[in-house]
Amino acid sequence: STWGLVSSHMADDSNPFEDPFAAPQDNPFTAAPAPARENPFAAGKPTGPAASAGLGSTGTRSTAPPSGGFRATASAASTSAVAAGNDAYARGSAYGSAAVAGGADRLDALARREAELEQKEAMLRQKEAELQRALAQIAGMRPNNWPRCTPVMHHDIAGEIPVENQSLTRRLYFLWYFTCLAYLWNFVTQIGALATGNGSGLGFFLSIAYVILAPPITLFGWYKSVYEAFRQGKSSRYVWFFLNFFVQILACIVWLIGLTNSGAVGIVTVIDYSKSKSNGLVIMGVTMIFVWLILLVCSIALIKTVHSVYRGRGGDFQRDAKLLARDGAVAAATASY
């Protein structure tokens, strides 16, 4: 029926005012379907002329990346960066290893060169000592070199004394220094006694004489004698040393006792100082007693050591003393004519 045709035409979204019996025509108000869009990230390539011209399916130039897209490009770039980093690390590691190896080689070379220089220096010192000993045998070739301020004697333990006797010579040399310090401290103690009214003028002036005369007497009396005995190996030098060193030991015993007005501070003088209740002076006196005691013990020990060396080389004190006395008498008789 007519109403049925109209209803079916309205159900098809047609124009209600259109003649249902008219021929169908295109509706200008109906929107055209949208063209299909190409997915730039989809796999595959366009076919046909658009592919050869580089155009998409819509006819426009496609801006999509080549197969794989941005993800493939980023992965390739990351792989290249990691590979470059690994290459750089490998080159740096190789350079560092080479630098460390080169530094170790240089250190080894420097150590070897230093050892060679030390060995050459030791050889030069030995040759220099031998040359000095050879020159010492020539008269007039031993200039005075000790003390440096005003040289009065030639003193070179390392260059003139045999190696086996150098240590003993140095100990005797230090003993001579200790002897000088003992007389100096005795003089200071005598000044303290005089200042506190416990000393005497005689003792003070005797202490001055000791501190002035004792160093040169002991130097040329027993130290120079034993020095020349070790250097020359003459028995007469040993005899002179023993005679002068006996005097040194006897003097230490007398100074240790410390008789009144003897010029030395010892046991007796310290007892007198204690009666005056001068504590500072008593401490100085007790210190002086220990100094004399140490000097005495060291002197006895060293003379025994020197005597062992003397006997080890075949020396006999009585025989050599007689020879020395005879030579002295001959020299005195010759000088009198």
Q: If residue 265 lies in a helix (H) or strand (E), which one and from where to where?
A: none
The pLDDT, as a whole number, for residue 41 is 57
Amino acid 104: pLDDT: 78
- Residue that the structure tokens 């401490």 belong to: 283
Query: Higher-confidence residue: 230 or 333?
Result: 230
Q: Which residues contact 248 (CB under 8 A, 6 or more apart)?
A: 179, 218, 221, 222, 299
Q: What Rg value do the Cα atoms of the chain yield, rounded?
A: 58
The answer to whether the CB of 248 falls within 8 A of the CB of 292 is: no
Q: Which amino acid is at 8?
A: S
Amino acid at 254: V
β-bridge partners, 55: 61
Cα–Cα distance measured from residue 134 to residue 129, given in angstroms and rounded to the nearest whole number:
9
Express each pLDDT in 11-43 by its tens digit: 444 555 555 555 555 555 554 555 555 555 554
Contact by Cβ (8 Å): 16, 10: yes
DSSP state of 146: B
Percent of the chain with pLDDT over 90: 45
43-96: per-residue pLDDT in tens?
Answer: 444 544 444 444 444 444 444 444 445 455 555 556 666 566 666 666 656 556
